[in-house]
Structure 1
Amino acid sequence: MTTGKIADVFNLRRGEGAPVLVAGLFFFCILTALMMLRPARDALGMERGLDSVRWLFIGTAVVTLLVNPVFGWLVARLRRLHFISATYAFFALSLVGFWALLMFAPGAIGARSGQVFYVWFSVFNLFVTMVFWALLADRFSSDQAKRLFALIAVGGTLGAIFGPWLAARLAEPLGTPALLLIAAGFLGVSIALACWLVRLRSDGPRDAAVHDPDAVRIGGSALAGIRAVFASRYLMGIAGYVVIMTIVATFIYFTRLQMVAAAETDLDARTGLLGNIDMWTQVAVLVLQVTLTGHIIRRLGLAFALALLPIAMAVGFIGLAIYGSFLVLILLEATNKAIQRGLTRPARETLFTVIGREDKYKAKAFIDTFVYRVGDVVGAQTEGVLGRLGMALGGLVSVVVPLALVWAALGIWLGRAQQRQADLESPRSTTDGNTAPR
């Protein structure tokens, strides 16, 4: 197959190959670091029962709310590459700190420290991926996002497959603490790739002082992102979409934990089972990303891409309530991840390409961290209440189906609103303003 035909298959245009490759490698490193450690996070969280996990979700939401003004302050005071590097460096150094604790003070490790790691990892997970996608929304135009974000996301999927595989191969010969250092190393490489990505030439000329995003600080206040979300119908719509998405994902998460807890009682066995589920469900994600997503978003539109996941989840939960088997759960989770990561996530990140630079980092941070975790808390508590009432899967279906209708309607509205905004603006003009669509 010739280079031109390959470019046509992947919707690439002249000058886009290098940025897409670097961005894909960037996402590969982030997801490798995350997925190496996530099975251990989940297993540690289950040590004191599922009710403890529900409270950990509340703790995580509180921490993300407290961290948002700090991140907003960094965005206002530092240049783009500096606050991105500072974010990744902080989490890398935190991993080194956990490694030192495991190596030199193992007696201090207990249930409480496991809970601290659970909360820290949950914050880490959201912020490193949020910063990545915010940079992409700032670096690529709306049209490029629709064509290229799914292809770039392939790098993350490969990392999500490679991370658990690498952890399984290295945990025994090197020990679990060594995995923390390896993950920190991947974050260090991510910093270098972020610098490379923003320094690659964009299409068209750039005036150094005006059009170079790294020539000036974004400015504004530490709380500007929070205020922007509540002042914009568009951003509020994205927040509502994220909340419902995470509520449904949390229902799947706790259903999985319950079935895993019933199937395996040993910590190592639970970790292994959770890791295998994570690894194999990525295969479906990869197939969708490589073959269909870019064409679906470009030809059928963002509205379709954003509405497909709610419909699939409603159907999946109905099937789970009818059959109630572990196999159906795995199929539901695989479908959720395949559509969410392969189609919905690239489409959702495209929504941020038509807002101002300040909102791309500050408002996006608030939505992708605190608002996301609010959905987790609501989902966890709702699932717990239904369980205590003895409603189980049937109760979940009665909640998921009406939520899915609202969720799908929001997706259609957001997709159309993004297209209207993109039609009003030139491809590069969105990098200069600081106002979200109202």
Structure 2
Amino acid sequence: MKLDLPSLFNVRRGEILHVSLAVGFFFCVLTALMMLRPAREALGMRGGLDAVRWLFVGTAVVTLLVNPVFGLLVSRFRRMQFIGATYLFFAASLAGFYLLLAWAPAAVGTASGQVFYVWFSVFNLFSTMVFWALMADRFTLEQGKRFFGLISVGGTLGAIFGPWLASVLVRAVGTAGLLLVSAGFLLLALALGWGIVRQPSAAAPAGRKAHDAERIGGGAWEGIKALARSRYLAGIAAYVVILAVMATFLYFTRLQMVAALGHELDGRTALFARIDMLTQTATLAIQLVLAGHLMKRLGVAVTLALLPLTTALGFVGLALVGSLAALIAFEAAFRAVQRAIMRPARETLFTVLDREDKYKAKAFIDTFVYRFGDVAGAQFEGALGRLAMGLYAIAGVAVPLAFAWIGLALWLGRAQQRMASATPGTEPAASTVFPVLQKRTEP
């Protein structure tokens, strides 16, 4: 029996090149990020867990300041010009941090580690946001439902490869050497991004090439204004805030358990890398089985609700068991559902918006709004910790919040269907739960 890969992955033959480039692009971005994430954790912990909580506040402030700068780039330059400027800036920053670590290691202390922590957190958000904004702009809703899950496989492979490569190289080249390797992957990602834009889209309408070359225009603050006047965007923002709060609860639980084990900088870097590799392996297993099919069968609404359900069950189990092994199992499940199932579904929410919102409003939501959720989660987790109730207190907050999260997911899926059915040339999202409604809901 002949294996038909296009049918297996729900990709048509004319789309194979586009999807392959996107998979490679995301692979390189996540490799660059996940190589450095263990170093970020190890450097950030030098000041203690309370300092990490305040680093979340610093990151939120920086992302708020960077957003109008990015909005200005989007307004003034063509698409690949502002995307290229974003990635080149981060690659140059990596080279600068390398020079500091390699040539002046004595100057690296708690303060410089905290600067790197904040910088990496901003880098993490903007690099993935720009990638998915390009995907939402380049592909239609119907295409996104079919192969955004497959494109996410590329990111998962990079997220597995990055920590593995970091754990192998850190003893030989040190944490500093990882920065240059990461910068190289970032430049390769940019080259693949240029390849995606240069390829004619299989589903492109007439005149799409000229459309792609146009400047988006508008003001630097349009993303924030759009969020204030759109219930749909506000719903996406609320979904992201809850996601960030839940992820932060899980994140600080992991930091506390790892801190209790001791280890020096390189040892902690290696341990974080191994944990990341295990969680990403679980993500890949789900993606290979479900990529390109789950959203088509269950609909975006149900797909978005799977992560809140997983989170509720995970926090209950973690509160009952309370071991590092249970934490790793929960984190593996959380990250797997988040990246393999929820993230592709959430990215399709942006395909029904206009180009300005796909870049500017999405940038604000995926960076500042997400970091606002981080700050809220970090401070709330710290307050619960001071009550000395441990994981029971966190579960007592997380589980009810997860049920509200489920309701929001179902509303977003239904709103997307109404908008898609009212947008010319956009195929409505299929769902086995909600019928396609013909009445338009303004974004």
> TM-score, normalization: structure 1?
0.96
Task: Give me the whole-angstrom Cα distance separating, in 2, the residues matched to 1:372 and 1:437.
Answer: 23
2:59 alignment partner in structure 1:
60
1:428 Cα offset (Å): 5.8
1:12 alignment partner in structure 2:
11
Which digits, 9 at most, give the CA deviation of each residue in 1:168-198, with x for residues without a partner? 2222223322211111111111111111001
Identity %: 61
1:110 alignment partner in structure 2:
109
8 A contact 1:355–1:437 mirrored in 2: no
> What RMSD in Å do the two structures reach over aligned CA positions?
1.7
8 A contact 2:147–2:291 mirrored in 1: no
Aligned length: 432
1:269 Cα offset (Å): 2.4
Secondary structure of the structure 2 residue equivalent to 1:220:
coil
**Residues 1:44 and 2:35 are matched in the alignment:** no
Task: Give me the whole-angstrom Cα distance separating, in 1, the residues matched to 2:308 and 2:108.
Answer: 41
Which digits, 9 at most, give the CA deviation of each residue in 1:244-288, with x for residues without a partner? 011001000000111111123433322221111100111110011
2:181 alignment partner in structure 1:
182
8 A contact 1:142–1:427 mirrored in 2: no
2:132 alignment partner in structure 1:
133
Task: Give me the whole-angstrom Cα distance separating, in 1, the residues matched to 2:86 and 2:427.
Answer: 27
Which digits, 9 at most, give the CA deviation of each residue in 1:147-181, with x for residues without a partner? 10010010000000111111122222233222111
Aligned partner of 1:40: which letter?
A
Task: Give me the whole-angstrom Cα distance separating, in 2, the residues matched to 1:47 and 1:18.
Answer: 45
Aligned partner of 1:381: which letter?
Q
Aligned partner of 1:226: which letter?
I
1:206 Cα offset (Å): 4.8
8 A contact 2:6–2:12 mirrored in 1: yes
2:244 alignment partner in structure 1:
246
1:357 alignment partner in structure 2:
355
Which digits, 9 at most, give the CA deviation of each residue in 1:110-155, with x for residues without a partner? 1100000000000000000000000000000001001100100100
Aligned partner of 2:41: which letter?
D
2:165 alignment partner in structure 1:
166
209, 212, 219: which is aligned to 2:210?
Answer: 212
Q: Which deviates further from its counterpart, 364-373 or 8-17?
A: 8-17
Task: Give me the whole-angstrom Cα distance separating, in 1, the residues matched to 2:111 and 2:281.
Answer: 35
Aligned partner of 1:52: which letter?
A
1:11 Cα offset (Å): 0.6
Secondary structure of the structure 2 residue equivalent to 1:15:
helix
Which digits, 9 at most, give the CA deviation of each residue in 1:199-241, with x for residues without a partner? 1111256544x65333210000000001101110000000000
> TM-score, normalization: structure 2?
0.94
Aligned partner of 2:236: which letter?
I
8 A contact 2:39–2:269 mirrored in 1: yes
8 A contact 2:352–2:426 mirrored in 1: no
1:227 alignment partner in structure 2:
225
Aligned partner of 1:149: which letter?
F
8 A contact 1:28–1:156 mirrored in 2: yes
**Structure 1, unaligned stretches of length 5 or more?**
none
Aligned partner of 1:61: which letter?
A
Aligned partner of 1:387: which letter?
G
8 A contact 1:89–1:188 mirrored in 2: yes
256, 274, 280: which is aligned to 1:276?
Answer: 274
Aligned partner of 1:13: which letter?
R
**Residues 1:237 and 2:235 are matched in the alignment:** yes
8 A contact 2:305–2:410 mirrored in 1: yes
8 A contact 2:166–2:273 mirrored in 1: no
**Residues 1:34 and 2:48 are matched in the alignment:** no
8 A contact 1:80–1:213 mirrored in 2: no
**Against the structure 1 CA distance between its residues 380 and 197, is the aligned structure 2 distance closer, same or farther, given a 3 Å change threshold?**
same
387, 394, 397: which is aligned to 1:396?
Answer: 394
Task: Give me the whole-angstrom Cα distance separating, in 1, the residues matched to 2:226 and 2:275.
Answer: 38
1:93 alignment partner in structure 2:
92
Which digits, 9 at most, give the CA deviation of each residue in 1:404-426, with x for residues without a partner? 11111110111111122222224
Aligned partner of 1:344: which letter?
M
Task: Give me the whole-angstrom Cα distance separating, in 2, the residues matched to 1:61 and 1:353.
Answer: 26
303, 306, 313: which is aligned to 1:308?
Answer: 306
